[in-house]
Structure 1
Amino acid sequence: MSRLSRPAALTLSTAASLALLAAGCSGDGGSSGLPADQESSSFSAEGDGVRLGILGQCEGPFGGFHEDVVAGTTLAFARYAGASPNSSTSALEGFSDAEVAGTPIELVGIGCGDDTADRILQEVRRLVEQQGANVIIGPLSGDEGIAVAEYAKGKPDLTVFAGISGSQEQTLQVQAPNYFRFYGDGAIWNAGLGDLLYREKGWRKVAVIADDYSFGHTSAAGFVADFCGVGGEVTHRVFPPLGTTDYSSYIAQLPDPDEVDGYFWAVGGTGTQAALEAFVNAKGDLTGDRHAGNFFFNPDLAQALGTDIAGAHIGGFATLPGDIQTPEIKEYLAAADETWETIPGSLSGNEPAPPSTSAAFGFFYGYYSAGVALVEGLKAVDGDISDPKAFQSAVAGLTLDLPHGDISLDENRSGIVDVGLSRLAVNDSDEVVQESVAIVPGVDQTFGGTFSPDTPSPGRDFPKCEKRDLPWEGKAIPVVDGVPQR
């Protein structure tokens, strides 16, 4: 049996912030949450089946997603490995009876990250070196991903399936052969957005504001490469630290609205609403024709700030926008509701809600995809993980048939994905909703040759703003009333 004590839930400050303050966790991170007689103190890559550790984030800017990510992994095992959740109202209680090809999957611990590299290294070491994990799913955030990839590189018998960490470096630069990412990075998620704004909205000059850490850099890099690639100009790049509470000095560094055609935002976590409110105070009202953002620029946030933001365009994420409802997506969401009675996920303010509410968003889905990858990898080796390198080779060759589209891996074991672009709109009930506008198919981490292991990592000054040929320019697949026009 796999059972973990549930952290105390966090009450979120507002639905608009999306990923908000810290959820309670196992205190100082030094306890596995397992009963003492079930704890393991030695690492074993063979003979004991899969001993799984999940790296969540129960503190820091994205602490509100702790329940979501553990639930994502659990749903994959419930659907494809016979697992049963130990609680009908919380995924953090763990699961039982997961097995693939005769090989059991035992949950040995859940790591409590806080968005810092030091903390996530403490947690992965505890799970691997004290609890005996031979497979890790996670982590959640950008700097954490780089740290865990570097750690994995020194533990070749360990296999890591990244959760939803969006920094580019963890696969393109670190290149650990035992580290796998079955989703896109932050740059990929903005593929096609700059092209759309340039061609369809007439934007020519843009200012960028993004969190000053690896994911913010990567997300901004994708937009900059895309917008400049078709001929646009980025006039300013402003990078407030993640977790900033007073954004006024950073907003002051942005040009006034009469100096640019628009602004691109990649400020996330607890900062999204605060940054936008600071903009309103300093620069005037938000209007959709002048603003675009990455996935944190969402309907809940817009609803809190007013309907004038309708028309703003949004980059993609691990899932396609919610108005795209294929039979596979509907089946996936229904499976979540069949697995638990309720889940206190981030999008419901960490209050009980239908599990499909959390399953529809990318944090849950990234960890779900990792769980499916583990199951399919085990099937590919008939459950035999006694040779970790053979298991890892099988995982590297997988193409996953997932609800939001197939995902295969590039040579650096990072996902090649379809990106769904959307915009905010006002529906008949005067509510701000997200509607799909286009799908950019098959984007890989090199971003049409923009990035490579030899280029600098995305940062405050890289990539340069220069015209370049990108494979998807002018070729995005339109979406009409939630139906891709393939």
Structure 2
Amino acid sequence: MNFTRPRRPATFAITLVTGLALATAGCSDRGGASGLPADDTADPSGAAAPQDDGTVRLGILGQCEGPFGGFHEDVAGGTALAMVNHAGATVNSATSALEGFSGAEVAGTPIELVGIGCGNDTADRILEETRRLVEQLGANVIIGPLSGDEGPAVAEYAKANPELTVLAGISGSQEQTLHVQADNYFRWYGDGAIWNAGLGDILYNERGWRKVAVIADDYSFGHTSSAGFIADFCAVGGEVTHRVYPPLGTTDYSSYIAQLPGPDEVDGYFWAVGGTGTQASLEAFVNGKGDLTGDQHAGNFFFNPDLAQALGTDIAGAYIGGFATLPGDVHTPEIEEYLASADATWESLPGSLSNNEPADPSVAAAFGFFYGYYSAGVALAEGLAAVDGDISDPKALQDAIGELELELPYGPMSLDENRSGIVDVGLSQLVVNDDGEIEQKTVAIVPGVDQTFGGTFGPDTPSPSRDFPGCEQRDLPWTGNAIPVVDGVPQQG
């Protein structure tokens, strides 16, 4: 393994507003000239394009408006890179993934990109875009969606349309697989709860927290992310005193910060506020409660090093849950090869981590939004190879995808009985480097976490919400068993 390459900087939360504006400006016309490569060929009568010609007609569900509109380039890039690496495709632009790809083929079966849907984080809009891709442009395979509330809506659509194959992009809500259980819907990554496995254990047993307040976005992903942390922290004996859920997209968080206890009333705060609200909510905390300190704050993956650059380096020491990729201090030959393939595919990409300004493509490829769509694309290609490119029976392709065991850049992955990823979770900490800057350092890996979260969740339990799960002490299989990581090296054995 090579652990010497410098960590690539992340510039996510504090720059998302600018990225959102750029993405929205480029994608507001969803009907045609919005960077959707095949939309101009759609039948103006609205009739469905042919689906029985032996071609995989692929639609991507992105999100170019709303709180996560700044990630539109990332999701197109992840899908395109999978097609380049695993289906022999060539990208149509050296500087933008939204221009699509050409020449993708697996086992003699062509893969044609018919369009990229423009979501805005709402179920209604993503269903509108799904129907456009499927019912007007003839998509028979979908990769996406991106965000929490979108996932269950698309999963229900897939369940009602069994000939359609859907590989989720990076939507982190729990119920899209655990509760909907569509046989043709696959999630090749973890959900928001999985990504926080082990974080409560660390904060309780290493940081000494006993009482915590939680603040998270009031939608399915925020509920799922906070549910994982609450289940983990309470399992080892912690107490959650307050749960505050501001609506996604809130601009003034002062009234929600006022609902939190003061720093002298709890040992810490867990944050799962994302999109354009990450920095705004933390600034409101500073104004209402006082400075942020690393010994009293932790969060999910939205809680990242650039918050420190905006709000002060006192946040050093804060712990962060995992995501689809590992933090940049962990390097393996597989990760290096993957990142290098992105740099070899494009000259530059305006991904979210570069404020949607041109940057090395590997910067975008290292982030979980890009990687989730990449993993889905790899699963599609490998599934096609498993059926020798024969898509005449969609059920056969779907069965093949569900049985895959993928060797992905950030580690191997398989699916559980509900077609959701069983994943290794990388937990990290914000630290001050030799230059006096904050960076993210991996501290532990929690292996093999599935969607039941050690028996906490199941098809018959309620969906995560403001009130569920309760705070209960219980045995979780990873408690005390996380693999330490030192200088980017997992200390196994």
Question: Is TM (by shorter chain) over 0.5?
Answer: yes
Hey, what does 1:47 align to over in structure 2? 53
Deviation at 1:36, TM superposition (A): 7.0
Hey, what does 1:38 align to over in structure 2? 41
- What amino acid is the match of 1:168? Q
Q: Structure 1 residues 295, 19: closer, same or farther in 2, change over 3 A? A: farther
Hey, what does 2:353 align to over in structure 1? 347
Hey, what does 1:408 align to over in structure 2? 414
**Mapped pair 1:436 → 2:437:** no
Hey, what does 2:195 align to over in structure 1? 189
- What amino acid is the match of 2:171? S
Secondary structure at 2:411 match in 1: coil
Contact kept in structure 2, 1:17 and 1:272, CA below 8 Å:
no
- Equivalences, count: 476
CA–CA separation in structure 1 for the residues paired with 2:119 and 2:170: 13
Hey, what does 1:23 align to over in structure 2? 24
Hey, what does 1:202 align to over in structure 2? 208
Hey, what does 1:146 align to over in structure 2? 152
Structural mapping, 1:108-147, within 5 Å: 108-147=114-153
Relative to the length of structure 2, the TM-score reads 0.94
Contact kept in structure 1, 2:217 and 2:247, CA below 8 Å:
yes
Deviation at 1:47, TM superposition (A): 2.4
Identity %: 78
Hey, what does 1:469 align to over in structure 2? 475
Secondary structure at 1:406 match in 2: strand
Hey, what does 1:479 align to over in structure 2? 485
Contact kept in structure 1, 2:39 and 2:115, CA below 8 Å:
no
Of the three residues 107, 123, 127, the one matched with 2:113 is: 107
Hey, what does 1:91 align to over in structure 2? 97
CA–CA separation in structure 2 for the residues paired with 1:106 and 1:16: 31
Hey, what does 2:7 align to over in structure 1? none
Deviation at 1:302, TM superposition (A): 1.9
Deviation at 1:49, TM superposition (A): 1.2
Secondary structure at 1:129 match in 2: helix
Alignment RMSD: 1.6
Q: Structure 1 residues 330, 196: closer, same or farther in 2, change over 3 A? A: same
Hey, what does 2:87 align to over in structure 1? 81
CA–CA separation in structure 2 for the residues paired with 1:52 and 1:429: 46
Residues 100-137 of structure 1 show CA distances to partners (whole Å, capped at 9, x for unaligned) of: 00000000000000001111000000000000000000
- What amino acid is the match of 2:488? G
Residues 199-224 of structure 1 show CA distances to partners (whole Å, capped at 9, x for unaligned) of: 11100000000000000000000000
Residues 456-480 of structure 1 show CA distances to partners (whole Å, capped at 9, x for unaligned) of: 0000000000101101000000000
Deviation at 1:19, TM superposition (A): 7.0
Deviation at 1:314, TM superposition (A): 0.1
Contact kept in structure 2, 1:43 and 1:134, CA below 8 Å:
no
Hey, what does 1:61 align to over in structure 2? 67
- What amino acid is the match of 1:38? T
Unaligned runs of 5+ in 2: 1-10
Contact kept in structure 2, 1:19 and 1:269, CA below 8 Å:
no
CA–CA separation in structure 2 for the residues paired with 1:209 and 1:123: 31
Q: Structure 1 residues 479, 150: closer, same or farther in 2, change over 3 A? A: same
**Mapped pair 1:399 → 2:367:** no
Hey, what does 2:377 align to over in structure 1? 371
CA–CA separation in structure 2 for the residues paired with 1:20 and 1:202: 38
- What amino acid is the match of 2:15? A
Unaligned runs of 5+ in 1: 1-10
Residues 16-58 of structure 1 show CA distances to partners (whole Å, capped at 9, x for unaligned) of: 7797455334434233745677325325543231000000000
Secondary structure at 2:276 match in 1: helix
Secondary structure at 1:449 match in 2: coil
Secondary structure at 1:24 match in 2: helix
Hey, what does 2:427 align to over in structure 1? 421
- What amino acid is the match of 1:61? P
CA–CA separation in structure 2 for the residues paired with 1:19 and 1:263: 28
Hey, what does 2:302 align to over in structure 1? 296
Q: Structure 1 residues 306, 12: closer, same or farther in 2, change over 3 A? A: closer
Secondary structure at 2:242 match in 1: strand
CA–CA separation in structure 2 for the residues paired with 1:395 and 1:162: 12
